[in-house]
């Protein structure tokens, strides 16, 4: 490990990963993050968030820019951009400032796109 090199905490990303990792309860990330676990609860990120292919979240997900590769059951809200990649699964609701849906993504629910997401 190189000594004397400073790492900017804002440039790091939190990662919740591990084969078979299950989290029971809400998750709150104070930085950019990647979720690779099964979460029985809500996930809230203050920055960018990737829900990886192997992730399954039973609650709602919120963040700034969100890339969904896995599965979310209770909806998703992005204060910036939301990207549903092929093979991703989203249920209930999607609210975002802008949205990109790749062919092969599976979305079923209410959709809100635009500047104001309040109310």
Q: What is the pLDDT of residue 14?
A: 67
73 within some domain:
yes
Beta bridge partners of 14: 33
Look at residue 6 and tell me if it is in a domain. Answer: no
Q: Identify the domain containing residue 55 by its residue range.
A: 34-100
8 is a domain residue: no
Retrieve residue 86's tokens.
């092929």
Give 36-92 pLDDT, tens digit per residue: 999 999 999 999 999 999 999 999 999 999 999 999 999 999 999 999 999 999 999
CA angle centred on 9, ends 5 and 11, rounded to 5°? 90
pLDDT computed for residue 115 by the predictor:
64
Position 118 in a domain: no
pLDDT at 20: 82
In a domain, 16, yes or no: no
The single-letter DSSP state of residue 31 is: S
In a domain, 87, yes or no: yes
> Does 70 map to a domain?
yes
- Residue 68: name the closest of 45, 85, 93, 46 by CA: 85
User: Model pTM?
Assistant: 0.84
Domain total in the chain: 1
Task: Answer whether residue 2 is part of any domain.
Answer: no
């Amino acid at each position: 490990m190189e000594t004397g090199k400073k790492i900017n905490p804002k440039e790091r990303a939190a990662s919740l990963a591990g084969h078979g990792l299950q989290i029971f309860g809400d998750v709150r990330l104070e930085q950019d993050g990647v979720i690779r676990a099964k979460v029985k609860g809500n996930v809230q990120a203050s920055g960018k968030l990737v829900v990886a292919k192997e992730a399954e979240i039973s609650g709602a997900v919120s963040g700034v820019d969100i890339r969904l590769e896995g599965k979310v059951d209770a909806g998703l809200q992005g204060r910036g951009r939301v990207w549903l990649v092929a093979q991703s699964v989203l249920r209930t609701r999607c609210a975002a400032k802008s949205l990109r849906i790749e062919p092969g993504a599976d979305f079923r629910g209410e959709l809100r796109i635009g500047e104001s997401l309040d109310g």
